[in-house]
């Protein structure tokens, strides 16, 4: 072999190694693919050297989410969850890993939130016109609220081995407050098991991020202004594996007698929560962020921040439903949340004095 040919062989071998390692591939922009599922939208973003696998990630995610939907929806009478509800007070269903995991999460958030997060809130959710219930034509009478409240209590949701049951007739489990976060975690685990490193999975604002969109910057997620459909309060910079979820008063509500009632119910009163516009939680899992954002929405700033105090990697941002705009953040949240510099409002670190 001539000296030139030997040199060329050596050179092309190194190019092949560098290409295989991804060192010479030009950095492409992250690629996002969206689809509809669970009555809302989902999206997957693949970044870095994984953009070419975006379609594969999206397909896998869609298949998993559709499977979870068909099992946990209350909009189809033959879903496993509908069967559990139909057998309330009468019998049990064989719960697979998905239903069992959701029941265990439901107990966990129920305990953590002192019962303000309660998946058996279904009769109240329907009474107020959500999750398939008929929107009341006039103010809901107190006796009907109390009758529905009597059917609420997550401690009456049982798992006996693999059999799940509700011990009182008329009880209804509604997993709307956690199933989306749970689904995001399952999809992330699957994609990671297939080698995905730099990606996000989002299901209606329940999002989890891995890696980075580009080596020099983290995933940056906008936090919506609850008072302005096109505005942002600021953004969150999320680290590897972190999840974020927002519960807001602006997406699902009904109007009764000119008054706006939202889809998150306080099981203590039986009434839709008032006084809170938005709660954003960051956490190490999407299920935790989803469940806790709903729980903290019910609990409010003082009680809510106490509930997450000390939970590793878990921080919250609250926006009370009043003017002037005020954002209340836990101390640890200040590391991740960057307020929009021109925002007409104040940021208050919970436990500190207001900052303007
Ligand atoms: P979204 O589903 O709109 O993203 P959330 O995650 O906050 O918002 O969940 C709200 C849903 O959770 C409601 O639509 C209802 O199905 C259910 N829900 C309402 N109130 C409660 C509650 N106190 N505890 C548990 N789940 C609730
Ligand atoms: Mg939630």
The answer on 118 and 250 residing in a single domain is no
Residue 11 lies in a domain: no
Average pLDDT for 253-262: 92
Residue 209 lies in a domain: no
Which ligand is nearest to the Cα of residue 276, counting in written order? Answer: 1
Give the pLDDT score at 292: 98
Furthest-apart CA atoms within the chain: distance in Å: 96
Residue 20 lies in a domain: no
Residue 58 lies in a domain: no
The answer on 294 and 228 residing in a single domain is yes
- State the closest ligand 1 atom to the C-alpha of 251, by its place in the atom list counted from 1: 3
* Last residue in a domain, options 166, 184, 205: 166
CA of 247 to the centre of ligand 1 (A): 8
Q: Which residues pair with 339 in a beta bridge?
A: 234
Residues with CB under 5 A from ligand 2 (ion): 177, 290, 293-294
pLDDT, one tens digit per residue, over 102-129 is 999 999 999 999 999 999 999 999 999 9
CB-defined site of ligand 1, < 6 Å: 116-119, 121, 125, 130-131, 174, 176-177, 204, 247, 251-252, 263-265, 267, 290, 293-294, 298
Which ligand is nearest to the Cα of residue 74, counting in written order? Answer: 1
* List of residues 6+ apart from 23 with CB closer than 8 A: none
The answer on 330 and 254 residing in a single domain is yes
Q: What is the DSSP letter of 143?
A: H
Residue 264 lies in a domain: yes
The answer on 97 and 162 residing in a single domain is yes
pLDDT, one tens digit per residue, over 173-232 is 999 999 999 999 999 999 999 999 999 999 999 999 999 999 999 999 999 999 999 999
The answer on 99 and 162 residing in a single domain is yes
Is 17 a residue whose pLDDT tops 70?
no
In contact, 267 and 242? CB cutoff 8 Å: no
Q: Which of 107, 148, 153, 177 to mutate to test ligand 1, by most ligand atoms within 8 A of the CB atom?
A: 177
| Tokens matching residue 73 | 């929806």
* Last residue in a domain, options 133, 166, 199: 166
CA of 292 to the centre of ligand 2 (A): 7
Give the closest residue (by CA) to ligand 1 atom 5.
177
In 3D space, the residue among 164, 139, 142 whose CA is nearest the CA of residue 154 turns out to be 164
Q: Which residues pair with 200 in a beta bridge?
A: 45, 209
The answer on 226 and 288 residing in a single domain is yes
Of the listed ranges 12-26, 45-59, 139-153, 341-355, the one predicted with least confidence = 12-26
The answer on 344 and 237 residing in a single domain is yes
Give the closest residue (by CA) to ligand 1 atom 6.
177
The answer on 347 and 223 residing in a single domain is yes
The answer on 237 and 122 residing in a single domain is no
The answer on 355 and 253 residing in a single domain is yes
Residue 24 banded pLDDT, cuts 50, 70, 90? very low
Average pLDDT for 78-94: 98
pTM as predicted: 0.91
For residues 48-80, one letter each, b for 16 or more C-beta atoms within 10 angstroms of the residue's C-beta and e for the rest, the string is bbbbebbeebbebbbebbeebbebbbbeeeebb
Alpha-carbon distance of 345 to 221, in angstroms, equals: 20
* Last residue in a domain, options 166, 196, 229: 166
Residue 351 banded pLDDT, cuts 50, 70, 90? confident
Residue 193 lies in a domain: no
- Rounded to the nearest integer, the mean pLDDT of the chain is 92
Is 307 a residue whose pLDDT tops 80?
yes
Give the pLDDT score at 48: 87
* List of residues 6+ apart from 59 with CB closer than 8 A: none
In 3D space, the residue among 131, 124, 125, 129 whose CA is nearest the CA of residue 145 turns out to be 124
Residue 60 lies in a domain: no
- State the closest ligand 1 atom to the C-alpha of 291, by its place in the atom list counted from 1: 6
CA of 297 to the centre of ligand 2 (A): 9
| Tokens matching residue 219 | 């995933």
Is 10 a residue whose pLDDT tops 90?
no
Domain span at residue 107 reads 75-166
Which ligand is nearest to the Cα of residue 205, counting in written order? Answer: 1
The answer on 250 and 162 residing in a single domain is no
| Tokens matching residue 85 | 């509800």
In contact, 223 and 233? CB cutoff 8 Å: yes
CATH number reported for the structural domain that contains residue 249 in this entry: 3.10.520.10
CA of 290 to the centre of ligand 2 (A): 4
CATH number reported for the structural domain that contains residue 112 in this entry: 1.10.3980.10
Give the closest residue (by CA) to ligand 1 atom 16.
176
Is 18 a residue whose pLDDT tops 50?
no
In 3D space, the residue among 304, 284, 303, 302 whose CA is nearest the CA of residue 293 turns out to be 304
Total domains, the chain: 2
* Helix residue ranges per DSSP H, the chain: 3-20, 54-72, 80-86, 97-112, 122-127, 142-149, 179-193, 286-308
Residue 284 lies in a domain: yes
Average pLDDT for 18-45: 78
The answer on 238 and 315 residing in a single domain is yes
| Tokens matching residue 236 | 């969150």
């Amino acid at each position: 072999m001539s000296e030139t040919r030997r040199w060329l062989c050596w050179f092309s071998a190194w190019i092949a190694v560098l290409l295989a390692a991804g060192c010479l591939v030009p950095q492409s922009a992250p690629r996002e693919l969206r689809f509809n599922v669970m009555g809302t939208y989902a999206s997957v973003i693949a970044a870095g050297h994984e953009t070419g696998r975006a379609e594969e990630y999206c397909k896998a995610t869609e298949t998993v989410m559709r499977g979870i939907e068909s099992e946990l929806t209350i909009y189809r009478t033959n879903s496993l969850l509908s069967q559990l509800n139909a057998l309330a007070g009468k019998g049990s269903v064989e719960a697979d890993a998905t239903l069992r995991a959701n029941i265990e999460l439901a107990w966990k958030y129920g305990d953590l939130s002192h019962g303000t997060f309660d998946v058996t809130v279904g009769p109240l959710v329907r009474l107020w016109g959500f999750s398939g219930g008929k929107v009341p034509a006039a103010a809901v009478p107190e006796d009907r609220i109390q009758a529905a409240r009597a059917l609420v209590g997550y401690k009456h949701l049982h798992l006996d081995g693999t059999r799940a049951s509700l011990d009182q007739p008329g009880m209804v489990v509604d997993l709307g407050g956690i199933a989306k976060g749970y689904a995001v975690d399952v999809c992330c685990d699957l994609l990671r098991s297939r080698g995905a490193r730099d990606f996000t999975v989002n299901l209606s604002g329940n999002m989890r991020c891995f890696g980075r969109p580009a080596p020099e910057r983290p995933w940056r997620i906008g936090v919506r202004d609850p008072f302005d459909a096109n505005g942002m309060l600021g953004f969150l910079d999320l680290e590897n594996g972190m999840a974020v979820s927002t519960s807001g008063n602006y997406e699902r509500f009904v109007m009764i007698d000119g008054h706006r009632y939202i889809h998150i119910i306080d099981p203590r009163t039986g009434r839709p929560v008032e006084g809170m516009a938005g709660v954003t939680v960051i956490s190490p899992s999407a299920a935790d962020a989803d469940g806790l954002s709903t729980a903290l929405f019910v609990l409010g700033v003082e009680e809510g921040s106490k509930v997450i105090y000390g939970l590793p990697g878990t921080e919250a941002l609250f926006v009370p439903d009043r003017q002037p705009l005020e954002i209340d953040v836990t101390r640890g949240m200040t590391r991740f949340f960057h307020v929009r510099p021109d925002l007409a409002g104040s940021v208050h670190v919970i436990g500190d004095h207001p900052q303007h």
